[in-house]
Structure 1
């Protein structure tokens, strides 16, 4: 069950000279399914012992779960446990979900299993519920015991699973007042800078978004875009080219859901200037703050527009500077005729369409704040989220929706992703607008079109 939030181009002056594309994707999960009855209790017992060894930092116990003849994998797993040394774990366990999860490569002797396993863990002081990630493991029976011999055999069938930072190399932690930043061991300056920027973003978001939220942000800073893709469970790093950051989390969930992760693309982020970095991290932090009231009913123009409105709030940037694509459209006599759709936010919608979608959403939220006041904007956002079921209620699994981050439209598993859901959703938005703003969707759209032209002339 999942939802996706997609990409934008930074306005002139906020990004690098070339104009890198920014993005935010909110991947909303659901409560993990219970482990299935796989008929292999000895495998689950081995996984339980492996998890206990991680919690106790017991290298011998951890390596006891690894096939001694899989020397390359064994060496890699030894490094993984060392990479976890600085990570403040408060929980770690595995569940065997299924066997026969992928075709096993030819060769080898003895009994083998292609296992789908769920890793669940929590970071102390940040996660109030476990974060889950799927792994695809090859298990080998040797001397009457099941052991793990590989975690890459499923890749040929597209079963990549989700890597973690500690799978990629040593992990360094930087703790800020409101932030926890995890990244490579040799990147102290970059991690401290991210922590400082998030620490500044949290009070800025809290000043605009009234109400309870954790005021804590976890940032993961991989050292390549390829490793960023691995953290998101995707084998296609090209899908994230130019995307400065992606936020994962459980939208529409209670405050006891796992903490969101802001995952930074080192290539695109480094191309941004100081203003661009501030905008990106404030935007991402806004999504963290609003996660519990963002549902399947919340259109992307509203969730992304609010995040940009918060990010630009107090900067005194002129609309024409912050919305260059719509400014050009207005100047050439082609102003927008409708509010942005969720499909407009797709990663492959094209840079111009994507930029116009973000700029249009931002101007819609800016208009509400100007005409009705900031309190009404926040009240409308909450009302819009209350009119629908929790995000992801359409029923698609999180794994399937992650593919959308590499090319599919940004609607993910939401009911609005197909045409059948659009009229009912528009009716709910109309009611939310009438309740909080006193105008219906048609009148709001008319006023927004006039506002866009007036602000961008």
Structure 2
């Protein structure tokens, strides 16, 4: 414990008494304290009646934790942390930093505006009315402008993706998924806090907290511009890929190579289909036929949003084929063991413990399989 020169106990008491006598700021029961208390009570009352635009969303535990109050006459601004759960989906409260404006005319405070705090990301309902579609394993929340029919179709596809992901990942997980469908690409980018260009060519993305322990459910965010342009098979592949990220989230950590995480999700999506390596990896196939076999397993930076689309395609395709090779050579159980081990320990140790091999041997086997199957 840090130690230092003790301060005489009489000094803080003296300063407190003098401060109260001179300014009245610290004295309990002053008008300033009463106003702040009333503001906090008004926010608490507001939290007991969620806005009408949230009707139909299975919310529970909706509450605001006020962190600061700033008052200017009959107006006040409160900063707060919103906590809520989606019933049946979130194992821990989701959070959102909020800024509320209150009006105190007539001696009674009431909330007149509730918005994201400066620098905080908006919630889907901040962008307008929300439409809800439910599936057997899915909850789909659509932003303003999304039709109930389109959302029901996504719920049906998500219901097919959940058991497919569960078959590939035979470990305990919730077996449920929350899907957000914003009203536009720009609104999708707003929810995720990045430029729209970063998501233009992506069918969907997944947000979430890696590692074990209680956490809000992942959200699969569908790109409302790109997803409808996909074929039926393309939609199935995209949603199964993203749902697999949800299934494996607790086993994923900072030590998990990104190629393994993305490759496993694609392997789960293609698993059980008749898709050949040449069909599923056309960009990488063209490169291999030109004699451009990758020098190593895909690097993390190759998967970056908004980067070189050709490089990203080769990275995703190569990651899928690496996981496909592992499943064929060491068995599906071996691939699952490797994924679990990679989230717990350094990569060389994970490879040795799960598969009894090393990075150089795996890389050479992968390169040889690319020449055989794509060359």
TM-score by length of 1: 0.69
Q: Which residue of 1 aligns with 2:139?
A: 180
Structure-2 change in CA distance of 1:239 and 1:148 (3 Å): farther
Query: 1:341 aligned to 2:337?
Result: no
Q: Which residue of 1 aligns with 2:175?
A: 215
Q: Are the equivalent residues in 2 in contact too, given 1:201–1:285 (CA < 8 A)? A: yes
1:199-214 matches, within 5 Å, as 199-214=159-174
Q: Which residue of 2 aligns with 1:277?
A: 235
Partner residue of 2:202 out of 238, 243, 263: 243
Structure-2 change in CA distance of 1:53 and 1:360 (3 Å): same
Q: Deviations over 1:332-358 (max 9, x none)?
A: 111100111211111132101111111
Deviates more, 1:297-306 or 1:125-134: 125-134
Q: Which residue of 2 aligns with 1:119?
A: 82
Measure the CA separation in 1 of the matches of 2:248 and 2:95. Answer: 21
Q: Are the equivalent residues in 2 in contact too, given 1:251–1:295 (CA < 8 A)? A: yes
Q: Are the equivalent residues in 1 in contact too, given 2:146–2:181 (CA < 8 A)? A: no
Q: Which residue of 2 aligns with 1:434?
A: 352
Partner residue of 2:269 out of 302, 308, 311: 311
Q: Are the equivalent residues in 2 in contact too, given 1:248–1:261 (CA < 8 A)? A: yes
Displacement, 1:440? 1.1
1:30-429 matches, within 5 Å, as 41-54=37-50, 81-98=51-68, 110=73, 115-138=78-101, 142=105, 147-148=110-111, 150=113, 159-184=118-143, 187-232=147-192, 234=193, 236-254=195-213, 256-387=214-345, 428-429=346-347
Q: Deviations over 1:143-162 (max 9, x none)?
A: 566555555697xxxx3533
Q: Aligned with 1:180: secondary structure?
A: strand
Displacement, 1:182? 1.5
Measure the CA separation in 1 of the matches of 2:139 and 2:363. Answer: 40
Displacement, 1:241? 1.8
State how many pairs are aligned: 340
Measure the CA separation in 2 of the matches of 1:222 and 1:363. Answer: 32
- For the pair shown, the structure with the greater C-alpha radius of gyration is 2
Q: Aligned with 1:201: secondary structure?
A: helix
Q: Are the equivalent residues in 2 in contact too, given 1:136–1:161 (CA < 8 A)? A: no
Displacement, 1:316? 1.7
Measure the CA separation in 1 of the matches of 2:142 and 2:83. Answer: 20
Structure-2 change in CA distance of 1:198 and 1:297 (3 Å): same
Displacement, 1:87? 1.4
Displacement, 1:317? 0.9
Displacement, 1:238? 3.4
Which structure exhibits the higher relative contact order, with contacts defined as CA atoms closer than 8 Å and separated by 6 or more residues?
A: 1
Displacement, 1:51? 0.7
Q: Aligned with 1:246: secondary structure?
A: strand
Measure the CA separation in 2 of the matches of 1:306 and 1:245. Answer: 16
Structure-2 change in CA distance of 1:451 and 1:88 (3 Å): same
Q: Are the equivalent residues in 1 in contact too, given 2:58–2:87 (CA < 8 A)? A: yes
Structure-2 change in CA distance of 1:114 and 1:328 (3 Å): farther
Q: Deviations over 1:118-141 (max 9, x none)?
A: 211112222221111222445566
Unaligned runs of at least 5 residues, structure 1: 1-38, 55-80, 101-108, 388-427
Measure the CA separation in 1 of the matches of 2:216 and 2:116. Answer: 29
Q: Deviations over 1:205-262 (max 9, x none)?
A: 1111112111111111122112222332x273333222221211221132x4221111
Structure-2 change in CA distance of 1:41 and 1:251 (3 Å): farther
Q: Are the equivalent residues in 1 in contact too, given 2:63–2:84 (CA < 8 A)? A: yes
Measure the CA separation in 2 of the matches of 1:433 and 1:235. Answer: 35
Measure the CA separation in 1 of the matches of 2:104 and 2:198. Answer: 38
Q: Are the equivalent residues in 2 in contact too, given 1:198–1:282 (CA < 8 A)? A: yes
